[in-house]
């Protein structure tokens, strides 16, 4: 028995269910694969022997080679709205789905490669990836997982031993990513665009079985599928907002059916609070600014609703009415999660919209660090973060009047939901720069910090602070 067959028992239910939405393909060669980082906790979830993954045969599998007999990777097809413009053919241009595995909890999960070479969907790209962006995705996935936010996660990053040409020559790498699935709004857009209702129905049935099985028993399963996707996306974006996460590229092909965060290209976390914050170098008009994320998510979900109309009702007017009512429900679901989340962050027994709105405007006006504020509020030191503290004093008195219970218990509860550590943008860049040059120590230390974000650890205190005063605004890039 080979190492590969001992490691994974791959299935291919997606390729069987909708064969027209993927293309069998093979990963490009990796001349000298070297394991840079392995997620042993995730390997354990998958029921995989981490020691075997570290062997040459295991590392080879992590870049798509030495696969068990009968395993055929596929590149998945999808379309998408990118910055509001519809692109009918996107797909896995530099990625492959190796297959699906059932983890130790009985959950079906995709094992997927990114940076594994050109596919028929490559659109002129070289299909490769560099060490820095692949480590960024690994790091961000672990940070989001630590924060309790649904996310894809990196199982490993492997340097390929092959240079890739970007603005400069960089070391190449492949990310092995694990996801509940890679079904996206863009997958449904592509299926709908074929005009083949049977393909669309097969995709929707697969999505129901995989992610929202309760919908199968509903009077209208496809409308119920839509309602559930709207609900999980509303909760996901609320969770992003509560920790100051800015996705940066909320295209419909990056909006999952499962409700997981996917694609950590130009993402970043807020330092000073400002709803207009944009980090991505390509988001020139601020479409995907922090404060726009809920509205963009709802817009993306409206595009999903359009694809499902033929399945929701034979009568187009009735289908449109039902889908519109469903997507209009996004705001209430989002607001519920946001308001309850903010109440918990503030130590309140119940939401208070006006108190939250006034606080956020105060923080925006005085450029107060979002993450530092909530930990300092629990500790009783938040006043020091304000250049002009008197308005904060007035706000704090209003909050104090709403607190219920012993103050120590309130502070302890707040510390369970307000992180000490986020992937601070300047620390991320430092770690990735060092890793690209061959020094993985700063990266490993940062992963350690963000993987347990609510724990105060003196030895990692230097990773918790904002960038030094006077730093240039942080800019992120898509990493392609």
253 is catalytic: yes
* Range scoring the smallest mean pLDDT among 5-9, 64-68, 147-151, 314-318: 5-9
- Give the DSSP letter string of 286-337: -TT-GGGHHHHHHHHHHHHHHHHHHHH-SSHHHHHHHHHHHHHTHHHHHHHH
Any idea which residue has 């390509």 for tokens? 282
Supply φ then ψ for residue 70, to 5 degrees: 85, -5
DSSP string computed for 126-139: --B-BHHHHHHHHH
Q: How confident is the model at residue 336 (pLDDT cuts 50, 70, 90)?
A: very high
The pLDDT tens digits of the residues spanning 82-136 come to: 999 999 999 999 999 999 999 999 999 999 999 999 999 998 889 999 999 999 9
User: Which entry of 110, 253, 263, 369 is annotated as an active-site residue?
Assistant: 253
Confidence band for 403, pLDDT divided at 50, 70 and 90: very high
* Prediction pTM value: 0.96
Strand, helix or coil at 38? Answer: strand
* Confidence check: pLDDT of 479 > 80: no
Do 320 and 309 meet the contact criterion of CB atoms below 8 Å apart? Answer: yes
Do the Cβ atoms of 74 and 16 come closer than 8 Å? no
pLDDT exceeds 70 at position 2: no
Cα–Cα distance measured from residue 282 to residue 144, given in angstroms and rounded to the nearest whole number: 23
Token pair for 330? 């996004």
194-245 tens-digit pLDDT: 999 999 999 999 999 999 999 999 999 999 999 999 999 999 999 999 999 9
Band of the pLDDT at 4, cuts 50, 70, 90? Answer: low
Please say if the pLDDT value at position 442 is more than 80: yes
Query: How far is residue 423's CA from residue 429's CA, in Å, rounded to a whole number?
Result: 10
* Confidence at residue 3, expressed as pLDDT on a 0 to 100 scale: 59
pLDDT band at 144 (very low <50, low <70, confident <90, very high): very high
Residue 360 has pLDDT above 70, yes or no: yes
- Residue 145 exposed, middle or buried by CB count within 10 Å (0-12, 13-18, 19+): buried
CA distance 159 to 164: 11
Please, what is the average pLDDT of the chain? 96
Find, among 81, 22, 376, 44, the residue nearest to 178 by Cα: 44
Return the pLDDT at 480. Answer: 45
Mean pLDDT score, 338-356 = 98
How sure is the predictor about 328, in pLDDT bands with cuts at 50, 70 and 90? very high
What share of the chain in percent tops pLDDT 70?
98
Kindly state the average pLDDT of the residues 289-296. 98
Contact 31, 162 (CB under 8 A): yes
């Amino acid at each position: 028995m080979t190492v590969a067959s001992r490691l994974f028992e791959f299935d291919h239910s997606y390729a069987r269910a909708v064969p027209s939405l993927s293309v069998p393909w093979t990963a490009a060669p990796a001349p000298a694969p070297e394991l840079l980082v392995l997620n042993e906790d995730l390997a354990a979830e998958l029921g995989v022997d981490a020691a075997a993954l570290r062997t040459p045969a295991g590392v080879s599998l992590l870049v798509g080679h030495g696969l068990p007999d009968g395993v055929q990777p596929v590149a998945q097809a999808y379309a998408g709205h990118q910055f509001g413009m519809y692109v009918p053919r996107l797909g896995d241009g530099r990625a492959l789905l190796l297959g699906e595995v059932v983890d130790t909890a009985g959950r079906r999960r995709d094992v997927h490669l990114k940076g594994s070479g050109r596919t028929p969907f490559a659109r002129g790209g070289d299909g490769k990836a560099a060490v820095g962006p692949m480590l960024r995705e690994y790091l961000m996935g672990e940070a989001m997982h630590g924060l309790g936010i649904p996310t894809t996660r990196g199982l490993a990053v492997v340097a390929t031993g092959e240079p890739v040409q970007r603005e400069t020559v960089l070391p190449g790498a492949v990310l092995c990513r694990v996801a509940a699935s890679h079904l996206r709004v863009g997958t449904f857009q592509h299926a709908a665009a074929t005009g083949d209702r049977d393909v669309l129905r097969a995709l929707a049935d697969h999505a129901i079985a995989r992610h929202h099985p309760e919908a199968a028993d509903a009077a209208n399963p496809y409308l119920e599928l839509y309602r559930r996707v709207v609900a999980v996306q509303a909760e996901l974006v609320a969770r992003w907002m509560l920790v100051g996460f800015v996705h940066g590229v909320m295209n419909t092909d990056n909006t999952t059916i499962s409700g997981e965060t996917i694609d950590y290209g130009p993402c970043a976390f807020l330092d000073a609070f400002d709803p207009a914050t944009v980090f991505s170098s390509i988001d020139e008009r601020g479409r995907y600014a922090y404060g726009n994320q809920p509205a963009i998510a709802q817009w993306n979900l409206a595009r999903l609703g359009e694809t499902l109309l033929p399945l929701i009702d034979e009568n187009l007017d009735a289908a449109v009415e039902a889908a519109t009512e469903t997507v209009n429900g996004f705001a209430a679901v989002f607001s519920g999660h946001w308001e309850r989340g903010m109440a918990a962050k503030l130590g309140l027994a119940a939401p208070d919209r006006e108190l939250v709105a006034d606080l956020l405007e105060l923080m925006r006006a005085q450029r107060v660090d979002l993450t530092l504020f909530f930990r300092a509020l629990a500790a009783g030191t938040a006043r020091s973060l304000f250049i002009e503290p008197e308005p904060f004093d007035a706000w704090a008195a209003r909050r104090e009047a709403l607190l219920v219970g012993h103050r120590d218990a309130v502070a302890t509860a707040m510390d369970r939901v307000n992180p000490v550590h986020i992937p601070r943008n300047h620390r991320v860049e430092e770690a990735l720069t060092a890793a690209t040059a061959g020094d993985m120590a700063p990266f490993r230390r940062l992963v350690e910090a963000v993987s347990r974000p609510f724990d105060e650890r003196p030895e990692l205190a230097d990773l918790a602070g904002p960038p030094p005063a006077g730093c240039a605004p942080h800019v992120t890039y898509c990493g392609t």
